[in-house]
Structure 1
Amino acid sequence: MARFMRDEVQPHEDYGFFGPGSVVWKVWSYPTAPTVGFQRAVVVEELDPPLVAAVHRTQGIYQRARTRYDRTLRYFAMVAFAGTREVCRAADILVKVHSKAIGQLPYGGGTYDANDPASQLWIQLTGWHSILYAYEKYGPGKLTAREESEYWEACAVAAELQTCSPDDIPRTRDGVRAYFTRMRPQLSASPIARQAMHHLLRTELVLPPVPWWARPARHVVARAQRTATIATMPRWMREMAGIRQSRLLDLLIVPVMKASFALAHLSPTLELRLLGLLSPSTVPVIAPVKLGVPPRTAEVLTPAQARDRHGYARPAEAHLEFRARQATRVFGDGKAPSDQGLIESQEILGPLA
């Protein structure tokens, strides 16, 4: 079956921005990434008032939780594994998608914009930190000092695909800690943040429907991932958000998840099957890496080289006129923003429904 799948996999155009042997491929291809790591990221992100305002405005996580999970995970996987042309195209369209997420903050006054560099920096660092944290807690363990340095340098490379500046990415664990310490006074467990966090911890919402006889197993899987994700969150954050879990459960879930992930990691085919349950759209992105399918061109590019070759602007400078029109519609005319970017994104990030 593995050989059949390998023959069916479409190769990427090139190795993307990291390639084989990179610490990014090592950490992001482990089964902790699309499960506990990714769930932790999207839950923690909601404590940022501008971000959760955008999430609440679109209602995507409530109206189409499984689709939203699928599309978002696909994008993060593309940055790590896909060819540079495909990633540049996805990063470019994401700017248009985010141009829709603008409006007035529901608490405290002011406005929010999903393309704001500060919001994008928060998303970038919570995402990359959560993926690494889950890998260390439930996977093979801590990276070496050299690997960790490479990891945060890679995070800065990936930041070039967002509207934030790579210069703002810390390059050390201490630097990352310092960033989160600075952010802590700005975080807020508002009613909409609590609602979003509790909702996103319901793992069953992103699992596919199953026959009645498989529902107990589905419940166990969902409960285990929820428990494992909460166990990665610091106590102060749980208390802020009203998320409760005993210290005993925090301890007991570790060997269970470590063993489960290690077992799944023994078989690339099994990993892809399990990933397909969570995020079908992500399977074609990671399958070439898992099954050893080489790209059409064996090269790794920098984001600058990729933009020059494929003809894309820096995300921070992309679609400025379109973004201005969206702002005029929302803040000037009092209308809902255009869905143009969201509709266009389906070809790249997957269907909306």
Structure 2
Amino acid sequence: MPPKTNVVAQRFEQSFDADIRSRFFKGLEFAGPEGDPGWFGPGSAVWYVHSHLPTLIVGLIGAAYIEGLDPSISWMGYDHSRLAERVDGIPTGNIDMEGGAVRLGHSISFFIGTAYGSTETAERLARTVRAMHHTVKGTRPDGLAYDADDPDWLRWNYATVVWGLATAHERYHRRPLRGADLDRYYREFVRVGEALGGTDLPATKAEVAECLESYLPRLALTPIKAFATGPNLRDSKARPWEPGSEFMDWAARDMLPRWAQKLALYQPPNPIRLRARRTSLWLALNGLYEATGPIREFHEARARVAKGTRTPIAPSTAPTAPDPILTRAQIEATA
């Protein structure tokens, strides 16, 4: 099916091109080489789930929320990312909205690129993220060291991401995968975690849920997390559908497992309001998708393999050799 050309689709395409594609899709190849299946190929559960961009974005927001319940993750973000607003290099305690947009843009690029990009594109994206992780090391204020290459952290990070994407898909996709089909998505997605250096990764919905809950003793709602959630967002300048808004913060917390909701001090609204909110978000996400359809990169990938795949999908995406150690400036120059 070719890209849609109605007014909504055209405006969405223009906005996506200006805000995301032109900034974060540079150098990514989707149209070729002909016959290259990439990491997953047509007919995969990953191709189906990631083609619904609105639910993919909600899933990324949910994943970022639960990921940050790990205090080390909170401090990694505070010390090393653009999420924390800084004036003359000193954190102000506020969120940098542009930094948040950059993080979301890179995330969309990664999960679209690894799903639909050529094999080389997916591998390059994974190398870039691994290289960035190698630079994220430090010490929390309580004296505990953190390291983004730590196997426990990589497992937590992987579980939060696949949980967020799959949960948003289940709840908000018009025709979601269920049961064994959804578990196929979890199994396929392990390739992404392995490519980033993860080992012993959960590969089903039940295994992911068990993995997440096993981290509960080390989780906490840190001050860094607290200032950016719940009532503290009532004066947020973000529009309702943007990350950092009170509504999207609610959507992320509403997706959490009940044990995580308790940790985040989340109390669901009354059943009528809860149903109204979920229905409103479902209608908005699917209405946008029905008007726009999959993005251009999905159609380019389908055309790339329209005559069949000429090479088999690689059996593993795990790195086979140590990465060169680069500075953040070097990484950003080659990303």
**Offset of residue 224 of structure 1:** 4.3
For normalisation by structure 2, the TM-score amounts to: 0.74
Specify every segment of 5 or more residues in structure 1 that has no aligned partner in the other structure, as ranges: 208-217, 273-285, 308-313, 324-337, 349-353
Aligned residue among 316, 323, 332 for 1:319: 323
Separation in 1 of the partners of 2:122 and 2:191? 13
SS of the equivalent of 2:146 reads: strand
Cα deviations across residues 34-93 of structure 1 (Å, max 9, x unaligned)? 332110001110011222221111241134121121112211222222111011111112
Separation in 2 of the partners of 1:193 and 1:226? 12
**Offset of residue 113 of structure 1:** 1.1
Which residues in structure 2 correspond to 1:12-31 (within 5 Å)?
Answer: 12-13=32-33, 14-31=36-53
What's 2:87 paired with? none
**Offset of residue 201 of structure 1:** 7.6
Percent identity, aligned pairs only, is 20
Cα deviations across residues 127-158 of structure 1 (Å, max 9, x unaligned)? 11111111111223652433123112102222
What's 2:67 paired with? 45
Using a 3 Å threshold, how does the CA distance of structure 1 residues 71 and 142 change in structure 2: closer, same or farther?
closer
Which residues in structure 2 correspond to 1:240-259 (within 5 Å)?
Answer: 240-243=263-266, 245-248=268-271, 249-259=273-283
What's 2:296 paired with? 287
Report if aligned partners of 2:110, 2:125 keep a CA contact under 8 Å in 1. Answer: yes
Report if aligned partners of 2:30, 2:118 keep a CA contact under 8 Å in 1. Answer: no
Report if aligned partners of 1:31, 1:264 keep a CA contact under 8 Å in 2. Answer: no
**Offset of residue 198 of structure 1:** 5.9
Q: RMSD of aligned C-alpha atoms?
A: 3.5
Report if aligned partners of 1:98, 1:115 keep a CA contact under 8 Å in 2. Answer: yes
1:97 aligns with 2:101: no
Report the AA paired with residue 343 of structure 1.
E
**Offset of residue 179 of structure 1:** 1.0
Report if aligned partners of 1:39, 1:201 keep a CA contact under 8 Å in 2. Answer: no
**Higher normalized helix content (fraction of residues):** 1
What's 2:207 paired with? 175
Report the AA paired with residue 212 of structure 2.
F
Report if aligned partners of 1:38, 1:131 keep a CA contact under 8 Å in 2. Answer: yes
Report the AA paired with residue 188 of structure 1.
A
For normalisation by structure 1, the TM-score amounts to: 0.71
Report if aligned partners of 2:4, 2:293 keep a CA contact under 8 Å in 1. Answer: no
**Offset of residue 199 of structure 1:** 11
Which residues in structure 2 correspond to 1:260-279 (within 5 Å)?
Answer: 260-267=284-291, 270-271=292-293
**Offset of residue 290 of structure 1:** 4.5
Number of positions where the alignment pairs a residue of Structure 1 with one of Structure 2: 294
Specify every segment of 5 or more residues in structure 2 that has no aligned partner in the other structure, as ranges: 18-28, 85-95
SS of the equivalent of 2:202 reads: coil
Separation in 2 of the partners of 1:301 and 1:194? 47
